[in-house]
A and B are shown apart, each in its own frame.
With several copies, the nearest count.
Chain A
Amino acid sequence: MIRVQEEDFDLGAELKAMSAGKTSIGGLCSFVGLVRDMAGDAEIGAMTLEHYPGMTEKALEEIETEAHARWPLDATLIIHRYGRLEPGDQIVLVAAASAHREAAFEACHYLIDFLKTRAPFWKLEDTADGAKWVDARASDDAATARWAVKSGEE
């Protein structure tokens, strides 16, 4: 399931709902991204997340579908927020549940790596020097690229 929303989410309730009644699940791996108060050396007050309605949902659904094609998963969940967020706020939740621990870990990792390079979100950070668009990181491209290598190895 994917959701794009302005409001916060209840991490515990979301994870519980994912596995409720599915006793074939042996492991549930989740990752939550939070607003940090420091990015590089500049102190961050808050940020605003812009996104591309329509394409965002499409991109997240494609990433989720691809994860299910690669691993035997009982459930996956992607929730991404947009709008204004303060330090400590939750930005994103990705989770994957499987009979097998490695599948849950790898699929969860895959979901966040691809989300970082494919989902159309842009962060505008409030800094001491004014609002600044966050630059994409080469490490995120590298994180995505490694899944291509891993597939080849399998």
Chain B
Amino acid sequence: MKLLYFAWVRERVGGASEDIPRPDGVATVGDLVAWLAARGDGYAEAFEESSMVRAAVNQEHVDLSHPVADGDEVAFFPPVTGG
């Protein structure tokens, strides 16, 4: 999967993107958040207020129950503030 991070999620994680194989037992966005947070350090910090993190799968806004599959582009970011 391709993971992308934006704004303060990117700053806390410490990188803008990474490619990882889908971890065992990760079937939804929520599972992925839990798996990332458990990596510790910046990841834990980025996802500690998980209600403040939004997600997109293949460039569509989704919620935590949305499934993730091998090859998906999954992005995490704060609520948007453009316009």
Q: A52-B56, A52-B75 are in contact. Are A120 and B6 (CB under 8 A)?
A: yes
Size bracket, chain B contacts: 10 to 19
**Listed residue (B6, B7, B59, B82) with the most chain A CB atoms within 10 angstroms of its CB:** B82
Number of A-B contacts (CB under 8 A): 73
Residues in B whose Cβ lies below 8 Å from that of A119: 80, 82-83
Report yes or no: A122 in contact with B7, Cβ–Cβ below 8 A: yes
Given contacts A52-B6, A120-B77, A124-B7, contact A80 B59 (CB under 8 A): no
Count, chain A residues at interface, CB 8 A: 30
- Mostly, the A contact residues are mixed
* CA–CA, A49 and B60, complex, Å: 20
Is B64 an interface position by the 8 A CB rule? Answer: no
| A122→B77 contact, CB < 8 A | yes
- Assess A122 versus B6: contact at CB under 8 Å? Given A52-B56, A133-B78, A136-B78: yes
- Interface segment among A6-14, A16-24, A64-72, A109-117: the answer is A109-117
Counting CB contacts under 8 A, is B65 at the interface? no
Tell me whether B81 is interfacial, beta carbon within 8 Å.
Answer: yes
